[in-house]
Amino acid sequence: MSASDVLSWTSQDPRQSQLFSSNGVLYRFQTEPNAQGNSVTTLWRAIRPTKEDRVAKLEWAPNGGLGRAVIGKSTLPMADLVRPDDSVYNGRVFNGPDGYTYRWRPAPNSSDIVDQNNNVIAFYRSIRPARYNIGEVHGELHFVRNAGAGVVMHPPLMDLVTVTAMLYRFCMAYGL
């Protein structure tokens, strides 16, 4: 796996964090209150050094729980992106942009995303906090470039993996 396939993740709060590699910041989660006072998290993806595209908008429920997600032209409940997986303790399921089902599942030293054939396509692991000029890093999101159909690095799936990774971290941290 090349170093660019590993994104360092700043902040213990995934809703206000950045994911970066040696090439710079690739994703940025920014959380702010909306006009009604509810939190809204926007996921931005760098497309060049001074330009970002909005990947997703996550509108949290008034109580701080899961609300709704706007990803591209689709609006769906956040809960649909982290549906409990009855077959695995603390496992979660989501449908990918390709129509296939993907699963977050705990592993001994990480949390893995597996495809429909149980290939690990990405994983998140916590690390001991380390200081970088971009911020304090608390974890790493690894993309397994050639696993499964080999499309995890393509923006629609890579973006959705990043959104669900944040939601999975949030759910595990708050017991949702």
The string of pLDDT tens digits covering residues 86-104 is 999 999 999 999 999 999 9
Is the pLDDT confidence value at 1 over 60? no
Q: Which amino acid is at 145?
A: R
Is the pLDDT confidence value at 2 over 60? no
User: Residue 8 has which token pair?
Assistant: 């360092």
Confidence of residue 154 (pLDDT cuts 50, 70, 90): confident
Structural domains counted in the chain: 1
Cβ partners under 8 Å of residue 104, min gap 6: 82, 85, 91, 92, 93, 94, 111, 112, 113, 164, 165, 168
pLDDT in the model for residue 75: 96
Reported as a single tens digit per residue, the pLDDT across 111-145 is 999 999 999 999 999 999 999 999 999 999 999 98
Q: Give the residue-averaged pLDDT of 56-84.
A: 95
Structural domain containing residue 140: 3-174
pLDDT in the model for residue 48: 87
Q: Give the residue-averaged pLDDT of 143-162.
A: 85
d(CA 134, CA 92): 30
User: Residue 99 has which token pair?
Assistant: 């129509």
pTM of the predicted model as reported, rounded to 2 decimal places:
0.92
